[in-house]
């Protein structure tokens, strides 16, 4: 006589086996390490480009968790002091480096900026993360030699470490007064979607399939 509990127990064993051995689907973690441009300076946080990125990812079905670790006034040195803890805490799969603008505005020696960005990239890749470098440019009043050397820092980092690159993060807004706040440095709420649209094409190849 076959026990009536036999089929039930068999199903339990099969489900247990599937739970143990089937691959687990985990969300990808995307860490944004930036300054005021990514910290929604002067506008509501939900209108910032990082919040808009999170919303677009969800709408398009990407299993991505966005962590915004951006702080107004942040420099590459400040980011370097914070990144190890952030990597340990969040273990990101993708890191967006949006730093260097404040270094440039303070006239920091470009090789120093380059060294810090090199180290930020190295630490992120050692964690196993894919890196996207968001490049910046400075106003011409800083002099042609300095502005050229500053702009070359970001492409140099991306080339050396074989990372994705956005050559100029502010490309679509910097010369459009209607998209900038009165300080002339920070995009307003209307400019935030343009920042996202500048980042998006370089970011998509790093994302998991939706």
CB-count exposure of residue 118 (10 Å: 0-12, 13-18, 19+): middle
| The predicted structure's pLDDT at residue 191 | 98
The CATH code belonging to domain 25-206 is 3.40.50.1110
pLDDT, residue 172, reads: 98
| Residue 161 annotated as catalytic | no
Residue 197 appears among annotated catalytic residues? no
Contacts of residue 135, defined as CB under 8 A and 6 or more positions apart, other chains included, come to 100, 151, 154, 155, 158, 165, 166, 167, 168, 169
CB-based contact 79:39 (threshold 8 Å): no
Rounded to the nearest 5 degrees, what angle is found at the Cα of 69, between the Cα atoms of 66 and 74? Answer: 145
Indicate which residue of 3, 25, 36, 162 is catalytic: 36
Residue 93 contacts residue 28 (beta carbons within 8 Å): yes
The per-residue pLDDT for range 146-161, each reduced to its tens digit, is 999 999 999 999 999 9
Distance, in Å, from the CA atom of 182 to the CA atom of 177, rounded to the nearest integer, reads: 8
Catalytic-labelled residue, pool 25, 162, 178, 183: 183
Upper half-sphere CA count for residue 141 (Cβ side, 13 Å): 2
Which of the residues in the chain have pLDDT under 70? Answer: 1-25
Q: Where are the domains of the chain?
A: 25-206
Residue 65 known to be catalytic: no
| CA distances (Å), origin 65, targets 36, 52, 123, 150, 197 | 21, 13, 20, 32, 19
Contact call for residues 61 and 24 (beta carbons, < 8 A): no
Of residues 38, 70, 124, 186, which has the active-site annotation? 186
DSSP 205: G
Q: What does the alpha-carbon distance between residue 131 and residue 125 come to, in Å, rounded to a whole number?
A: 7
Question: Considering the entire predicted model, what is its pTM?
Answer: 0.87
Helices H, strands E: what count in the chain?
7, 5
Look at residue 210 in the predicted model and tell me its pLDDT. Answer: 84
């Amino acid at each position: 006589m076959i026990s009536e509990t036999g089929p039930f127990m068999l199903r339990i064993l099969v489900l247990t086996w599937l739970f143990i051995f089937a691959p687990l689907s985990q969300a990808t973690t995307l860490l944004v390490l930036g300054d005021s441009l990514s910290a929604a300076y002067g506008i509501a946080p939900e209108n910032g480009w990082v919040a808009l990125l999170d919303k677009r990812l969800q709408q398009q079905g990407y299993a991505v968790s966005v962590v915004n670790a951006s702080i107004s006034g942040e420099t590459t040195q400040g980011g370097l002091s914070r990144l190890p803890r952030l990597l340990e805490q969040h273990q990101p799969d993708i890191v967006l480096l949006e730093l260097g603008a404040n270094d440039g505005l303070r006239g920091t020696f470009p090789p120093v900026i380059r060294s810090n960005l090199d180290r930020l990239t190295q630490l992120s890749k050692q964690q196993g993360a894919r890196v996207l470098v968001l490049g910046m440019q400075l106003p011409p009043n800083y002099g042609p030699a300095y502005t050229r050397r500053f702009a070359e820092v970001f492409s140099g980092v991306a080339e050396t470490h074989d990372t994705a690159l956005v050559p100029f993060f502010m490309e679509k807004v910097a010369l459009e007064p209607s998209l900038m706040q009165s300080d002339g440095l920070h995009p307003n709420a209307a400019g935030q979607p343009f920042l996202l649209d500048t980042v998006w094409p370089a970011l998509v190849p790093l994302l998991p399939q939706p």
